[in-house]
Amino acid sequence: MNYDALPLADLEVFAHVVERSGFAAAARELGLTTSAVSRSVGRLELRLGVKLLHRTTRALSLTEVGAEVHAACRHMLQNAEEAVSLAAAHRQQPQGVLRISAPVVFGDLWLAPLLPHFCSQWPEVHVQLGMSDAIVDLQAQGIDLAIRITTHEALPQSLVAHPLREVRYLLVAHPDYFKTHSVPKSPADLAAHRCMTLGYGAFQNLVEFTPADAADASVPPPPVKVRLSTPLTIASSLGLRQALRADAQTGVGLVVDFVAEPAIAAGQLVQVLPHWQLTGSYAPRMAYAVHAPGPRIPPKLRAMLDFLLQHAKAASR
């Protein structure tokens, strides 16, 4: 298509005439003379071979085809404005204040250590990380990005969600604990041990297990349910880890993986029942980066999303 042959400028003038209900008002807005605007509309009608406007000394009104042409003009101009805005946004360097909300322990252990590197990459972005286990209202609290650890089904449809990493729960204990206690071979063996769980919401002491390789079975077996003896509950995986490390006789704790795994790697804790997968209320979840929808993602938010997604991808390898 030869775009040079299209009367794009005249179409824009025509749209302004309709929306300002007159040649003079459109001329003022466009910085043209009234006669130049009138000639532009006349030229467009001649080019299209149709009458677009009914003109009287007092008013203008659209013809039937004029109304259709105006609707197409408005759509064309909106697309053009969006194209210009997208290009401008792409040119902009990320800058300004970026407000993030994250669950407390996830923010402390997973997110916060990453942020200095982000800030060194984008020195014009000032990150403010707030941490709360409550579900925050992004719009009401002025939050640009939030981390939600949940299932896909529980995500609100009003937000855009980017999966970062899977979150699992593990049974762990102090390595010296098993010097005086038998090592559990099956979920039923946990009945002989003192245990600790998070103890809030769905995270109670009734837990479910399936064999870790059950996902490969054509017909997964029913879960094994066990009610743990929990004389102590601590509503924080970090607190659970600290209690387990402080006293070898604490027992077995149910701890989120990003808290447990560094201690396991350091030999401070050992995993219990590694060949069993927790399901039910302790089933795997996903950590999502969520934000409000919109026609354009601000450069500062896009930079953070790209940074977190790249880190999560690298960490999963």
Look at strands 60-62 and 160-167 and give their pairing: unpaired
Which residues, in sequence order, are CB contacts of 217 under 8 Å at separation 6+?
none
**Residue pLDDT, tens place only, 11-34:** 888 988 888 888 888 888 888 898
The beta strand positions in 63-182, using DSSP E, are: 96-102, 125-131, 145-150, 160-167, 169-173
User: Best-predicted range by mean pLDDT among 7-11, 57-61, 120-124?
Assistant: 120-124
Give dist(CA 214, CA 194) in Å, integer: 27
- In this prediction, residue 4 carries a pLDDT of 56
The pLDDT-based confidence of 215 (bands split at 50, 70, 90) is low
Q: Can you list the domains of the chain with their CATH numbers?
A: 3-91 (1.10.10.10), 96-165+285-315 (3.40.190.10), 169-282 (3.40.190.290)
Contact between 254 and 169 (Cβ < 8 Å) = yes
pLDDT digits (tens, 9 = 90+) for 68-100: 988 888 888 888 877 777 766 666 789 899 999
Average pLDDT for the chain: 89
